[in-house]
Amino acid sequence: MLPVFIAALREAPPAFPAALRIHRVQGSAGVWEITVAPDGRATFEYGAEIVAGEPDIIWRRIGRHEVLGEP
């Protein structure tokens, strides 16, 4: 899954495959969610570019569905 995520990030604009289930987190500007396992979620945001031409990702929360504060 990570290689697919990285490849999608390098496209301009990023084109995430539907299988990654990436979408914006409602009520949190600039925060995205990705499904990493059947009950695993992670949130991330884009950081300032560190290496020219390479996107920078800041991982915020990684864990089971409860990590997002949802029932």
Q: Is 30 helix (H, G, I), strand (E, B) or coil?
A: coil
Q: Which two tokens stand for residue 39?
A: 């009950």
Q: Domain range holding 16?
A: 2-68
Q: How many domains does the chain have?
A: 1
Phi-psi sector, 68: left (phi>0), alpha (psi -120 to 50), beta: alpha
pTM: predicted TM-score of the whole model, two decimal places? 0.80
Report residue 67's pLDDT band, with 50, 70 and 90 as the boundaries.
low
* pLDDT (tens digit per residue) in 6-64: 899 888 888 899 988 999 999 989 999 998 888 888 999 999 989 998 889 999 988 88
Query: Residue 70: pLDDT band by 50, 70, 90 thresholds?
Result: low
- Cα–Cα distance between 42 and 33 in angstroms, integer? 6
